[in-house]
A and B are shown apart, each in its own frame.
Chain A
Amino acid sequence: MQKFEFTDEELMAYADGELGTERALQLDAALVSNAALNLRLETFAETRELSQKSFEKALHEPVPEHLVQKVRNLAAEYQTHAPPEDRKIIAFGQKSVSAPFWKLPLAAALALAVGLGAGLLVSTDSTQSARGIVLATLTEVELNDLLDTVPSGELEQLADSTQITPIATFYDGSQTLCREFELRSTDGPTVVSVACEQNGTWNLRLAVATAKMDENGYVPASSLQALDAYLDGLNAGPPLDPAAEAAALQNLR
């Protein structure tokens, strides 16, 4: 009698396309001359196919509208971080909440971006749709260095007529260290931003840019409202005092 060479798990993995190449080749060869092995393999192939088909119908059942709406509402809530005032106006003035908030009149002065990656590109409002606001020449490395070292309240002059001022350091709801900071440039917008530390790098979570600033670089209150709403959503803790901030930043190094 032929010795049993393949386990059920191996035959199953083969049927599921998960068996390693070497073993799969051996099984290919064995299948040529072994009817019993073929039958065992078939059992796994067939049970998979039947399982899939028997639950296929469930996929075609209409999804209740309230679930779809729920997801859209969540998207609006989490992605715009619009201040409550904006939300109210949308609720009364707009039939659909699917339009991105930054395209709505009240928020038109804001360009707002969340969850940015490298490149620090801030998406623009509809009036400037062709031009992104790039945070000048500030590289990720530079940003990391600055946020690791510059105490809150201190202004750091960068080479390209841009200034960075950390505003506050705090922990969010999941105890991640975050910093709020402001970037001012003489010829560009003022950007208020929040970055949180993860595995040694500061990830930009939010950037609120004023499309236009006055000569004093004044940031309109509506920008700060958006920021407040965002910080609320993060469950931001109170700002650390200078000593606690210094200790927290020291820990990162």
Chain B
Amino acid sequence: MSDRFAEDIIAFLPNLRRFALSLCRSADIADDLVQVTAERAFAAQHQFDPETRLEAWLFRIMRNAWIDMVRRTKTQGTQIDIDHAPEVATVDGPRATEAALMLNAAKAAIENLPENQRDVVMLICVEELSYKEAASVLDIPVGTVMSRLARARLAIAEKLGINPNSARSSHSQGDG
């Protein structure tokens, strides 16, 4: 693995920062989280199973690191308002197209989801993990991943006015 391991992590830093930002909602804390993730990844390097994807393994480390950070520092109290997150200011004035507005609305809708729904949307829809990989990152059964993800997407669709009335409840089992 040697240099390859490091280079793979470096290549994946943009994704790690993106997921970190979604977890902690603060650019500064996000970069700290990325750093902690890298440290833990190197320390646990020999535990990585090359049969699995490095991306999913890194997300798992990151999420556990985040849980630890929250426990330790009670960061939740210092979360910055999402409206002040630097990358949210994406509307470029008069040139903003309808599509751009839609994307901003979608981003806001995802950011405002309950945390456990937001995590599955970020991992599966944004980072393109499989259901199984996301289940392993979050340490929950695949069925729970699916019910959270379906509910999250129906909520996003509702917020954005996509195909109103098309959604039907499938009597998903709640998972809290």
Contact = CB atoms under 8 A, between A and B. Distances in A.
Chains A and B are bound partners: yes
Interface of A: 4, 7-10, 12-13, 16, 18, 36, 39-40, 42-44, 46-48, 50-55, 57-61, 63-64, 67-68, 70-72, 74-75, 77-79, 100, 114-115, 203, 205
Contacts of B5: 75, 79
Given A57-B87, A70-B38, A78-B42, A42 B131 contact: no
Contact of B125 (A52, A60, A64): A52
Contacts of B21: 58
Contact of B170 (A8, A75, A78): A8
B2 A67 contact: no
Contacts of A77: 42
Interface in B110-125: 110, 121-122, 124-125
Contact of A12 (B1, B110, B146): B146
Given A47-B125, A51-B121, 13 more contacts: A8-B168, A9-B146, A9-B172, A12-B150, A12-B153, A18-B131, A50-B102, A53-B106, A55-B22, A67-B38, A71-B9, A74-B6, A79-B5
B87 A100 contact: no
7 contacts: A4-B168, A7-B171, A9-B146, A12-B150, A16-B131, A58-B17, A67-B35
A55 B18 contact: yes
Main secondary structure of the interface of A (DSSP, over half): helix
A8 B14 contact: no
Contacts of B168: 4, 8, 40
Contacts, number: 144
B147 A9 contact: yes
B96 to A, nearest CB: 13
B172 A8 contact: yes
A160 B67 CA distance: 54
A13 B157 contact: no
A78 B45 CA distance: 9
B6 A71 contact: yes
A61 B17 contact: yes
